[in-house]
Structure 1
Amino acid sequence: MSSILKDVPKPIGEIRADLPRHLGRVIGRCLEKEPGRRYQSARELAVDLENLKRDGETGVPVAAAPVRPARPWARYGLMAAAAALLAAVALFIGGGLMSSQGQAIESIAVLPFENGTGDEESEYLCDGLTENLIASLSQLPELRVISRRSAFRFKNSVEDPREIGRQLDVQALVVGRVIQRGESLQISAELVNAADNSQLWGGRYDRRLADVVTIEHELVTTIAGALHHEFTGENASRLDRNREVDPEAYRLYLKARDLFVGSTREMKKGVEYLEQAIAIAPDFAPAYAALGDAFLTQAYHNVMDREEALRRSKEAVRKALEIDPELGDAYAVDSQIKLMFDWDWLGTEQSLRRAVELSPGSLLPRLAYGDFLTAMGRWDEVIEQSLMAKKLDPLSPSAAHWLAIGYLGKHDYDNAIAEFKTAVDLNPSWTWGYVKLAKTYADSGRCDQALATAEDAEAQLHGGSTPLARGWLGYTYAVCGAEKLVGDAFHELDTYAEHSYVDPLTYADIYCGLGDAENVLDKLEEGVDDRSPDAIYLPALPGLFFEELASEPRYQALIERMDFPTQTTSGAATVNP
């Protein structure tokens, strides 16, 4: 007994030379005489054993959990450590990580990594690392990963992880911190049980800035392994390819993505960064896909000559798929080109289905698919895709919005109102939420609420209304018989038209509210002649705005002219390409 308490035991390697060196270190820590140097819980020991097990299986070295200050329960001494070792060995031998309720972990959120440098220039690195972990882990078919938009609501949050887990409806969280000092980079990360705030895995990486891609690869595979998921086939190959990307090209790619949604100057700067990245790494497929997306955005907003922007967008997407035929992001961009500008309905859906197939856990392809299905008037499928998107993005108004549109197309006004309210609650400053909620109230015959909500929308607009918003509000005023406000809406559109293009379909929205079929059809024909981007929504008009339109011969002729799938009188597609 005296020897157990006082003498330092022989290193395990002297007794069993065949045991892994790192296992000897773990056993040695369990047998430390000083309580503060032993493992402080069975979970902490289990983390090191899990990491050791993956080392042996994958050959990837994983950082050990750090020695922590002694906790109150350390006084239980060596017997507690021995019991912890027995419990942890059972986990080491027998299975993967479990939630505190004993369930396998099947849902996680990657929270934005903290910028420990305190330098705004390092933000793109923290955000890019977080986004890429989300995108990579989303490739695992049995793991639900919360989308970027919901996860980034907790950027710099001080909320308890248990509360964040409850809001996102996940079992585990990935949290981390990035510190950059010149060319040195330190990244620490933890996998935390959202039920009880316990650590399931933890690691720290001290490397050069140029090694960020390698660190990201190790983090992804380690976290997947901790959850007993595995990258196989093409997903594993893509991870390996990404690991080989030139670090400077990758840095430029991350900086470019940070500028995609911004001013015209910022969008152009983003294109410059991507072109620089491609010059350094000509086989970097994600950079080409991002470049295609950037030019598509510029084409839609007329930031540059539309034909030239489309040509360059298509060229970039073609190159991305030539390098990596399994790149989901490239198919997502391709689908939007085909939908908005080529009017290739079958090609659009094929690209969207491929994008969803390749990136089942990614939000954007599902939202894009919901948009396409809305344009086609396929309301049941809109609802199906939106419900999937809502599971991936529970705290973003986008999924709630498309779900509401699906219900609105089916004239299920109560559910549509509920979802639009959810969208507004999630983002009270989102003007379109009020605009569309007002329209839904009007369609359901609740004009008092419709006009009150339209007033809220007008307050949000602050006199800065766009033609499209004015068209939707004009529809609401027309349905509710607010003649003066209808006249004001027409006048405002005419004023816009004096100095810039106004889509004829914007006028058509108001005429739908008035029940004026002839003027609606005149404006629809004018919009199709102009190749209006909003003309893609013609099949949805009977469900969303004017049900009687479906039986009009001139409307049917437009559907044939644009080669849409055949529509029923309710606006739902009878052909599912």
Structure 2
Amino acid sequence: MTPFPAGDILPRAARANAVMICPNCGFDNPEGTSYCGKCGTKHGAAAPVSVTKTMETPTQRLPRGVVFAGRYQIIEELGRGGMGVVYKAVDNKLKRTLALKFLPFEWTYDAQAKERFVREAQAAAALDHPNICTVHEIDEAEGRMFISMAFVKGETLKTKIERGPLKIDEALGFGMQVAEGLREAHKKGVIHRDIKSANIMVTEQGQAKIMDFGLARVRGGTLVTKEGMTMGTIAYMSPEQARGEEVDQRTDIWSFGVVLYEMFSGQLPFKGEHDQAVVYSILNEQPKPVTDLRSNIPMALEQVVGKALEKNRDERYHHMEELLADLKAIAEGIEPEGIRARLRKAKLLKRKKAILYAILASLLIIVTVVALNLFTGRAEAMDSIAVLPLENLSGDPDQEYFVEGMHEELITELSKIRALKVISRPSVMRYKKSDKSLTEIAKELNVKGIVAGSALKEGGIVRISVQLIEAETERNLWAERYDKDYRDILMLHGEVALDIAQEIRIAVTPAEQTRLASARPVDAEAHELYLKGRYYWNKFSPEWAEKSITYYNQAIEKNRTYALAYAALAESYVMLSTGFDILPGKDTLPKAREAALKALEFDPTLADAHVSLGLVAACYDWDRQAANKHFKKALELNPNSISAHLHIEIYLSLLEGKYKEGIDHLERAQELDPLNLFVKTRLGFVYYYSRDFDRAIDQFKEIVAFDPNNPLGHLGLMEVFGKKGRYDQAIAEGEKLLESGMRAVAVIGELGVWYGFAGKKDKALELLSELKARSSQGYVSSFWVAAIYMGLGEVNKAFEWFEKAYVERDGNLIFITAPTPFDACSPDPRYKQLLKKMGFEHLFEKVYSYKR
């Protein structure tokens, strides 16, 4: 048994609150807007959204061959999207192949979702056109709502475009077909609202069909949405849609313009590394003309696309009929009447640009040559780095908290990249002011690259200088200096991390780019208070943890939407009970939950908030599923999180009895933090839980040999020796800790257990009295009082105190599930009853089989 690991729980970039006054630029937006009309900042706290994919929702899958509703035989899953999953099926009654679209299972009883699903079917069923997918019926069976529709055999327009820009005639043909379908929908008063290349199917015969009216709205009807969902796909959103304004058929015309641009050029007109950047581009930037991307595009076609993409919808095509007429004119080789004025203006501009392009072409040749020279000799891809402690350029000790905070944040941001191994902060902090060579450090940490640098805060300006060094040769591969306004400090961390990733040639996924680039401006005073809190937290002791809470609360007072401060506050509250054992879980863990949920409200990308929620679920709610969900989400957001790897091991070992999987996570944590003795300690305990006693002893002895004063190493040896019946050796380890001044509740409780088993009743009672005396002055875990009673053989007393621990939501109580000294009470029926109350009855047989 051991107090919970604290690890190095690392913070994440903060986001602004959902307000109508833009938190970024202060622009006054209309109520209900989704994005700022000036800078593109997203209002609210929705998770980063892919610019090319509608939000997906997990559903329960129907296996191949099953017959649904006594009629439809499932053939295969075709895909899933924002409002459900689609299967290919055979209608055994009518002997035809069709597609079935299901409302997500978890929304079956959601009235809003069902209403919207029905509206989709009604909107599509009202349309009868060869370029719109036919809807047969909507029904409900086996507790699932579904739509039966025509099965379209072919591929999406998006898939065709991914192979390269379409031929002009082919693209025109598809464009006219889609325009025909939209014209029909608009005539019936139906606005699609999610036109994109992925929602257009092309049959084997070359017929285009508009699919998925999941966001469709009938003119005059009510829009039904799930709170917090991003409606539509960002890259195809019209400006008015992005701003959350009322939309009409012109929003479809804009989205169709994006599809036209995509077909002719092979790329999207509005791009960015994250959703905010895309929205900013949609609202404020002009796309590159398609003729710049493809020389054989008729200028008339460029102007049609340009008119469809006018940001002011009053200057856009008003009706699909007009746009369709212009496309038909171009297909017939006729100059469209609706864009003659635009064409004359475009031709004049083209002549003026000709000379400029010639000059730029010459410059491009020069730049290309220089770039090739610059890249010659650059480092090969590095998949492992260590960021050494940054130098405090000011020389002022009062700035140390700031420099350490910059160092911690840089490690945090780099850790978000799954393909990169980033050594965690505890291991690299050992090299602060070290005389070792970089090659020695890299060898000890098992990395290929070293990042070194310095930081300085001067007035309202933050400066960080970094250099990338090849570990084997100590050759400086790259260096850069960054100067930013203090309020942009979080953006700076992400920018530096992305630059380093580029220099080491490591793959960064689009989702990772989004997370690294999603930071918002910060309140300088709030961030200073937050950094001071982190500084004291990293000293890692109960008194400093309580001081960190004071600073985090002050930061939140300055900025009520400061996600990082909420996440750090949650971490501190969790550790006061599950780590430092100085307060009962019932007093701290609800506060931790509240703070973590607040953090995720303002920034859904914070892995540490999910770690805290996972611990609350495990130690307070005793909810295995929720704990698993949050720990896995934390690792998804930050695959290099030591804290997440450590705590998911606790869940796997103690709540599921999956020791091998727990060891896998600890071994990964050891790779990321090779000098962290806590990771090594946890490995020893999992060996012990799995009954590999000899390996556990070797592990704990290795820890004590490295650091003779390490209390957890001695605590581990005490427990394993005791379990093997070597009571004298167990007691000797415990007494060493007492002699060193270590009188933590866990040490006294553990030693009291083995005094009891060894028959040294007086010694055990002496320690029991000490715990009870201390409980009159402050909190003492009831779990450890119960443990000593159990060692003394007073089982009734033990269960009285276990019950008290249950009421207090004592974080230590989950250790009763481990096959440790507590399996001695497993034959008692009260033990099984306690496990059942906690939701851990599934572990009874595993523990009982290990009884003494």
Q: Which amino acid aligns with 2:639?
A: P
Gaps of 5+ in 2: 1-358
Aligned match for 1:412, one of 692, 716, 722: 692
Q: 1:225 deviation in Å?
A: 0.6
Note if contact 1:286-1:329 (Cα within 8 Å) is conserved in structure 2.
no
Q: Counterpart in 2 of 1:569?
A: 845
Distance verdict in 2 for CA 1:404–1:505, change over 3 Å: same
Aligned match for 2:768, one of 482, 490, 495: 490
What does residue range 289-300 of structure 1 map to in structure 2 within 5 Å? 289-297=567-575
Counterparts of 1:558 and 1:280, CA distance in 2: 44
Q: Which amino acid aligns with 2:825?
A: L
Q: Does the residue aligned with 1:259 lie in a helix, a strand or coil?
A: helix
Counterparts of 2:362 and 2:476, CA distance in 1: 31
Counterparts of 1:235 and 1:279, CA distance in 2: 31
Q: Which structure has the highest strand share of the two?
A: 2
Counterparts of 2:790 and 2:658, CA distance in 1: 20
Distance verdict in 2 for CA 1:359–1:572, change over 3 Å: farther
Per mean C-alpha deviation after superposition, the further-off stretch among 178-187 and 359-368 is: 178-187
Q: Counterpart in 2 of 1:331?
A: 610
Aligned match for 2:713, one of 426, 433, 448: 433
Provide, for residues 16-35 of structure 1, a one-character-per-residue CA deviation record: whole Å limited to 9, x for no partner.
Answer: 633455965x89xxxxxxxx
Counterparts of 2:489 and 2:397, CA distance in 1: 18
Q: Does the residue aligned with 1:229 lie in a helix, a strand or coil?
A: coil
Q: Does the residue aligned with 2:455 lie in a helix, a strand or coil?
A: strand
Aligned match for 1:203, one of 480, 488, 502: 480
Counterparts of 1:272 and 1:490, CA distance in 2: 34
Q: Does the residue aligned with 1:496 lie in a helix, a strand or coil?
A: helix
What does residue range 53-64 of structure 1 map to in structure 2 within 5 Å? none
1:470 correspondence with 2:734: no
1:375 correspondence with 2:684: no
Per mean C-alpha deviation after superposition, the further-off stretch among 148-157 and 431-440 is: 431-440
Note if contact 1:174-1:190 (Cα within 8 Å) is conserved in structure 2.
yes
Distance verdict in 2 for CA 1:422–1:126, change over 3 Å: farther
Aligned match for 1:393, one of 648, 670, 673: 673
Q: Does the residue aligned with 1:202 lie in a helix, a strand or coil?
A: strand
What does residue range 420-569 of structure 1 map to in structure 2 within 5 Å? 420-447=700-727, 449-460=729-740, 462=741, 465-514=743-792, 517-540=795-818, 543-569=819-845
Distance verdict in 2 for CA 1:531–1:265, change over 3 Å: closer
Note if contact 1:110-1:174 (Cα within 8 Å) is conserved in structure 2.
yes
Whose relative contact order is higher, 1 or 2, with alpha carbons under 8 Å and at least 6 apart?
2
Note if contact 1:396-1:423 (Cα within 8 Å) is conserved in structure 2.
no
Q: Counterpart in 2 of 1:129?
A: 406
Q: Does the residue aligned with 1:17 lie in a helix, a strand or coil?
A: helix
Aligned match for 2:388, one of 111, 115, 131: 111
Q: Does the residue aligned with 2:479 lie in a helix, a strand or coil?
A: strand
1:17 correspondence with 2:295: no
Note if contact 2:832-2:841 (Cα within 8 Å) is conserved in structure 1.
no
What is the Cα-based RMSD across aligned positions, in Å?
A: 3.4
Q: Does the residue aligned with 1:189 lie in a helix, a strand or coil?
A: strand
Q: Which amino acid aligns with 1:456?
A: K
Counterparts of 1:491 and 1:303, CA distance in 2: 18
Q: 1:271 deviation in Å?
A: 4.1
Q: 1:476 deviation in Å?
A: 3.0
Distance verdict in 2 for CA 1:148–1:479, change over 3 Å: same
Note if contact 1:547-1:570 (Cα within 8 Å) is conserved in structure 2.
no
Distance verdict in 2 for CA 1:120–1:544, change over 3 Å: same
Q: Counterpart in 2 of 1:65?
A: none
Q: Which amino acid aligns with 1:201?
A: W
1:172 correspondence with 2:449: yes
Q: 1:303 deviation in Å?
A: 8.2
Counterparts of 1:305 and 1:490, CA distance in 2: 19
Q: Does the residue aligned with 1:241 lie in a helix, a strand or coil?
A: coil
Provide, for residues 102-122 of structure 1, a one-character-per-residue CA deviation record: whole Å limited to 9, x for no partner.
Answer: xx4211111111112211222
Q: Which amino acid aligns with 2:402?
A: L
Identical aligned residues as a percent: 31
Q: Which amino acid aligns with 1:215?
A: L
Distance verdict in 2 for CA 1:273–1:487, change over 3 Å: closer
Counterparts of 1:126 and 1:544, CA distance in 2: 43
Q: Counterpart in 2 of 1:84?
A: none
1:359 correspondence with 2:638: yes
Distance verdict in 2 for CA 1:555–1:20, change over 3 Å: farther
Note if contact 2:573-2:591 (Cα within 8 Å) is conserved in structure 1.
yes
Q: 1:473 deviation in Å?
A: 1.2
How many residues end up aligned between the 2 structures? 488
Aligned match for 2:595, one of 316, 324, 333: 316
Per mean C-alpha deviation after superposition, the further-off stretch among 143-152 and 194-203 is: 194-203
Distance verdict in 2 for CA 1:456–1:221, change over 3 Å: same
Q: Does the residue aligned with 2:364 lie in a helix, a strand or coil?
A: coil
Note if contact 1:432-1:469 (Cα within 8 Å) is conserved in structure 2.
no
Q: Does the residue aligned with 2:846 lie in a helix, a strand or coil?
A: coil
Q: Which has the larger radius of gyration?
A: 2
Gaps of 5+ in 1: 1-12, 28-45, 51-87, 99-103
1:160 correspondence with 2:430: no
Q: 1:545 deviation in Å?
A: 1.2
Counterparts of 2:500 and 2:729, CA distance in 1: 49
Note if contact 2:832-2:844 (Cα within 8 Å) is conserved in structure 1.
no
Note if contact 2:406-2:455 (Cα within 8 Å) is conserved in structure 1.
no
Distance verdict in 2 for CA 1:379–1:230, change over 3 Å: closer
Counterparts of 1:357 and 1:432, CA distance in 2: 30
Q: 1:139 deviation in Å?
A: 1.4
Provide, for residues 61-94 of structure 1, a one-character-per-residue CA deviation record: whole Å limited to 9, x for no partner.
Answer: xxxxxxxxxxxxxxxxxxxxxxxxxxx2xx56xx
Distance verdict in 2 for CA 1:286–1:238, change over 3 Å: farther
Q: 1:199 deviation in Å?
A: 1.8
Per mean C-alpha deviation after superposition, the further-off stretch among 552-561 and 308-317 is: 308-317
Counterparts of 2:622 and 2:408, CA distance in 1: 31
Distance verdict in 2 for CA 1:230–1:123, change over 3 Å: farther
Per mean C-alpha deviation after superposition, the further-off stretch among 106-115 and 322-331 is: 322-331
Counterparts of 2:581 and 2:713, CA distance in 1: 25
Q: Which amino acid aligns with 1:371?
A: I
Counterparts of 1:176 and 1:470, CA distance in 2: 45
Q: 1:509 deviation in Å?
A: 2.5
Distance verdict in 2 for CA 1:513–1:169, change over 3 Å: farther
Note if contact 1:443-1:479 (Cα within 8 Å) is conserved in structure 2.
no
Counterparts of 1:222 and 1:349, CA distance in 2: 34
Counterparts of 1:389 and 1:264, CA distance in 2: 24
Q: 1:570 deviation in Å?
A: 3.2
Counterparts of 2:768 and 2:612, CA distance in 1: 35
Q: 1:327 deviation in Å?
A: 2.4
What does residue range 261-280 of structure 1 map to in structure 2 within 5 Å? 267=545, 270-271=548-549, 273-278=551-556
1:288 correspondence with 2:566: yes
So what's the TM-score if we normalise by structure 1? 0.75
Distance verdict in 2 for CA 1:308–1:545, change over 3 Å: closer
Counterparts of 1:217 and 1:570, CA distance in 2: 46
Provide, for residues 108-137 of structure 1, a one-character-per-residue CA deviation record: whole Å limited to 9, x for no partner.
Answer: 111111112211222122211211121111
Note if contact 1:221-1:230 (Cα within 8 Å) is conserved in structure 2.
no
So what's the TM-score if we normalise by structure 2? 0.52
Per mean C-alpha deviation after superposition, the further-off stretch among 294-303 and 557-566 is: 294-303
Counterparts of 2:567 and 2:455, CA distance in 1: 27
Counterparts of 1:236 and 1:562, CA distance in 2: 41
Q: 1:211 deviation in Å?
A: 5.0
Q: Which amino acid aligns with 2:823?
A: E
